[in-house]
A and B are shown apart, each in its own frame.
Chain A
Amino acid sequence: MRALCMMLLIVFGANLAPAYALVTDLSNKRIEIRYSFNGADLILFGAIGSSAVDPTRDDFDVVIVVRGPEAATVVRQKEKVGLIWINNQELLFPSAPGYYAVAASRPLSEIATKPVFESYGIGFDYLPLLAHTERGLAEPKAGFRKALFRLQSAQGLYRQEQDDVTHVGEGLFKTDIRLPANVPVGDFIVETFIFQKGTIKARNRIMLNVDKEGFERAAYDYAHDYPFWYGITAVLVALSAGWLAGVLGKK
């Protein structure tokens, strides 16, 4: 009886969780931001073993979603009041990802149908994103949601249809993950989805960490933990730098 249970568990377990042999890894799992940080390019490698997705038998598609740490984000809209344009409306997204990138081996529309992406919340159009409204947390007005994606895309923080996943060999694929200079710090989730004939066959996730290091880290912590002393330090640095400049400038 016990053995039967175990057997069932193994059989069903294997079927329920899409535990096909999907392995991914990053060229660098820990990104350090220093003052002269100009962004970073990472390479993600992935491989599918011979499994339910037999790469030799059928073509497969890869969609890779990278999500940065969530943060409360405000989108404001300017309106003309009298002569001038001022921020007149605002909407708070309590947990918008600070970074969101979708890379795919083909255009998303060719990989699967919209409902499939919608059910997994993949892509600019389907990423679940709520805002504070008069009715509590709800779907935001389309203009604000679009503006968020447009503005973050312009900053290089949100990316879609820009990065390709390339097939390197049988069952082997890779993509570039581009982190811009203004990337937020925190834990990133890198999710890989394997599609075949329009349905998800396997998925896995790995973590990536972006952190301020060295002088940047120390200054950031100091400014936020001891703001008064940070201010005093700023003044002392300015006084001595100014004095030095004055003395040197005289010569």
Chain B
Amino acid sequence: MNIFLVIGMGAVVGFLSGMFGVGGGFLMTPLLIFIGVPPAVAVATESNEITAASVSGVLAHWRRQGVDVKMGVVLIIGGAVGSFFGAQLFTYLRALGQVDLMISLAYVLFLGSVGGLMFWESVRAMIRQYKGIVPVPRSREERHKAWIHALPLKMRFRKSRLYISVLLPLSIGMFVGVLSAIMGVGGGFIMVPAMIYLLGMPTNVVIGTSLFQIIFVTALTTIFHSVNTQTVDIFLAVLLLFGAVIGAQFGAGMGLKLKAEQLRALLAALVLVVCVKMALGLVLEPVELYSVTDAVAVGGH
């Protein structure tokens, strides 16, 4: 594999993730697959890179007290369970030859829905701004649905100023853990909206706590994939990170020049492009109907 191509890809994705403030796993994993890295290796290796990227990202949030450690730990416990089952599912489907299908379906489903929602929301915000409508801000209590408060096993999270059932963050963590293992993403694109809209966490701790839990969940995912399928390539992960760190510096500068809604609309468009690319791969008749894989790598038949 060409080292400079890999570093260059890291830089491009790093630039975008720095600009939009996202992890970039959802871009990097499809890109790796696109340049010919086997999907299983792409997913497992990208988990490893995200661990590193999240560590560098969380430091800044940690310094300004933007991490709710208690909430993070609960999310990690859920995430560990989810990641374990996700990795088992991954190994099983890989042996059946269906892991590529699962990765594509997961991307189409989650990127499609998140990208669609984000795009709609940001376009609506831009139209409102153009017309001069100021939306009435709703309080946290209003956004918080009644059924959430009816759940048992309540726990206090001081930093997030929340008193909610521990089951909710546990299940969110578990869900994102599964996604992390099967898609090679950190899962921030699901975790962040879930924290804001479902848990009702204040925005100043959302990103930091999300990054904090991503470190641990992707670290576990890396270990699970190493044990199950030996598909983690440390060297590839380090090269990607090297490119990403450089790219992110430039991306962050660019991000400051754009408005929040514009950024979100652009990001949504990017997410939708990846989603459509994946969907076309599923729906269009492939030029080559056959594929060849090494049977030893899937643990024998």
Interface residues in chain A, defined as those with a beta carbon under 8 Å from any beta carbon in chain B: 35-36, 71-80, 83-87, 90, 92, 94, 143-144, 147-148, 150-152, 181, 215, 219, 223-224, 227-228, 230-235, 237-239, 241-250
Number of interface residues of B (CB under 8 A): 54
Bound: A148/B57 CA distance, A: 45
B301–A92 CB distance below 8 A: yes
A235 and B294 form a contact (CB under 8 A) = no
- Given A232-B223, A245-B241, decide whether A144 and B290 contact each other with a Cβ distance below 8 A: yes
| B→A interface (CB under 8 Å) | 1, 3, 48-49, 51-60, 97-98, 100-101, 215, 219, 222-228, 230, 232, 234-235, 237-238, 241, 245, 248-249, 282-286, 288-296, 298, 300-301
Instruction: State whether A239 touches B292 (Cβ < 8 A).
Output: no
- Beyond the given A85-B284, A90-B97, A215-B235, could you list 14 further A-B residue pairs with CB under 8 A, ordered by the A residue number? A78-B286, A87-B291, A234-B237, A238-B49, A238-B241, A241-B241, A242-B53, A242-B241, A244-B56, A245-B53, A245-B241, A246-B55, A246-B56, A250-B60
* Residue of A235, A247, A248 with most chain B CB atoms under a 10 A cut-off: A235
Whole-angstrom distance between the Cβ of A82 and the nearest chain B Cβ: 10
- Contact (Cβ within 8 A) A241 B60: no
A to B CB contacts below 8 Å, 8 in the list: A75-B292, A84-B283, A87-B97, A147-B292, A233-B234, A243-B55, A245-B241, A246-B59
| CB contact between B292 and one of A73, A80, A143 (< 8 Å): that residue | A73
With both beta carbons as reference points, the residue of chain B lying nearest to A87 in the complex is identified as B97
Cα of A73 to Cα of B56 in the assembled complex, Å: 41
Residues of A within 8 A of B219 (CB): 235, 238-239
Query: Which of B3, B49, B228, B298 is within 8 Å of A35, CB to CB?
Result: B3
> Which chain B residues border A35 with CB–CB below 8 Å?
1, 3, 235
With A152-B292, A238-B219: A227-B301 Cβ-Cβ less than 8 Å:
no
Q: Is the CB of A223 within 8 A of B230?
A: yes
Q: From the candidates B223, B249, B282, name the one contacting A85 in the complex (CB within 8 A).
A: B282
In the complex, chain A residues whose CB is within 8 Å of the CB of B222: 231, 234-235, 238
Report yes or no: B290 in contact with A231, Cβ–Cβ below 8 A: no
CA distance A78 to B286 in the complex (A): 8
- Point out the residues of chain B lying under 8 angstroms from A90, CB to CB: 97
> Does more than half of chain A's interface fall in helix, strand or loop, or is it mixed?
helix
Task: Report the Cα distance A153→B237, complex, angstroms.
Answer: 29
Among A90, A224, A250, the one with the most B-chain Cβ atoms within 10 Å of its Cβ is A90
Task: Return A246 CB to nearest CB of chain B, in Å.
Answer: 3
A-B contact count (CB 8 A): 167
Contact present for A234 and B48 (CB under 8 Å): yes
Nearest B-chain residue to A72, judged by Cβ? B295
Name the B residues within 8 Å of A80 (CB-CB).
Answer: 285
Say yes or no: B295 contacts A74, CB within 8 Å.
yes
| Distance, CA A13 to CA B219, complexed state (A) | 65
Nearest chain A residue, comparing its CB with the CB of B18: A249
A87, A151, A230: the one within 8 Å of B232 (CB):
A230
A87 touches B294 (CB 8 A): no
A151 touches B291 (CB 8 A): yes
Q: Are B227 and A238 in contact (CB under 8 A)?
A: no
* Chain A residues in 8 Å Cβ range of B290: 75-78, 143-144, 147-148, 150-151
- Given A223-B232, A234-B222, residue A249 in contact with residue B245 (CB < 8 A): yes
